[in-house]
Structure 1
């Protein structure tokens, strides 16, 4: 297992990804910016974009593999990959909760919830698009900014990531998408090409 983790470059990339995530989430706090959109003129929280570097690091780790050797091996790499993804997402959620408690506001917890949702989305796309699926969460973010807000700057329910920190639907949707992503990971981990 230690060799698997080193082959995935997890010992260097994942701590760096989590550090970038935590620092960016702490720095963004409640900062909002006015972005151009097709529908309305939304004031978007910059914290929506915080999970993107973590997802890029996670995809780099998942794609640092030898597919033929792993497909012919005895030990299941799928379970190890799913365990790794779950541990990193749990660490991101923990970071966001800690930052929220330091800042005294619940807004930072959306960073963890969004990391769960966007990771699931990326894993679902990875089953069909491979490494290019790292752009799927970015596409979701752009879609949310362009058409995800009503004229009065309230997010539409389908956006999930733009909803408030205490939104139950957003939390449930994030967990469902993450679970589907882990299931899709089984398919993508077995691919050799």
Structure 2
């Protein structure tokens, strides 16, 4: 069999990665949840502080994107041979960047229309958690999905020093206009992309 080329390779890649059946529905679900539930909030008792603290459901919404990406990037591409691995790596990088850009655009758009800081913050949080997922995947592929989930739950339970005041390390709890956190999130995402380039694509 000759190495898959051109359009055939793209079609095989899209089918094998389950982009239409998994990733696009994940983006759609993220869009619906951010649009309808960006101000949904519940109160949890503080583990490290007195009293309860508000937890917005948007804290968990980026996990839809990270889980979808982790899944599709782990799917095999048996039609592609070793000579196509470099192209597959480029496709996967483009897929990651475009998915994060699409999710970030949704968060910013919903935030601008509704005036919700929580919706706007999903852009930064998707950036940070995707970078964390890709970094964990480069170290241990089985940890790709678990890494961001663990972070979100640790931050929800331990991220506040007192009512509505997050610790400096609790990145995803910070306001979206806090520049140091945004820069850190971008750096984590870039590190994740570098880790993705060091991870052999599933072919």
TM-score (norm. length: structure 1): 0.90
Q: Secondary structure at the match of 2:84?
A: coil
- What is the match of residue 16 of structure 1? 25
* 2:16 corresponds to 1:3: no
Aligned length: 191
Return the match for 2:115 from 91, 96, 104: 104
Structure 1 position 27, deviation (Å)? 2.0
Q: Is the 8 A contact 2:18 2:72 kept in 1?
A: yes
Q: What is the correspondence of 1:26-175 to structure 2 with a 5 Å cutoff?
A: 26-40=35-49, 41-66=52-77, 72-76=82-86, 77-175=88-186
**Whole-angstrom CA distance in 2 between matches of 1:182 and 1:75:** 17
Higher helix proportion: 1
Higher strand proportion: 2
**Whole-angstrom CA distance in 1 between matches of 2:127 and 2:74:** 19
**Whole-angstrom CA distance in 2 between matches of 1:37 and 1:106:** 22
Q: Decide which structure has the larger Cα Rg and report it.
A: 2
User: What stretches of structure 1 move > 4 A for 4+ residues in a row?
Assistant: 67-70
Q: Is the 8 A contact 1:37 1:145 kept in 2?
A: no
Structure 1 alignment gaps of length 5 or more:
none
**Whole-angstrom CA distance in 2 between matches of 1:161 and 1:132:** 20
Structure 1 position 64, deviation (Å)? 1.0
**Whole-angstrom CA distance in 2 between matches of 1:173 and 1:90:** 17
Structure 2 alignment gaps of length 5 or more:
1-9
Q: CA RMSD in A?
A: 2.0
Q: Give CA-to-partner distance per residue, 1:27-74, whole Å, 9 cap, x none.
A: 22222211244212321111101111222111111011248955x223
**Whole-angstrom CA distance in 2 between matches of 1:64 and 1:160:** 30
- Could you tell which deviates more after superposition, 105-114 or 168-177? 105-114
TM-score (norm. length: structure 2): 0.86
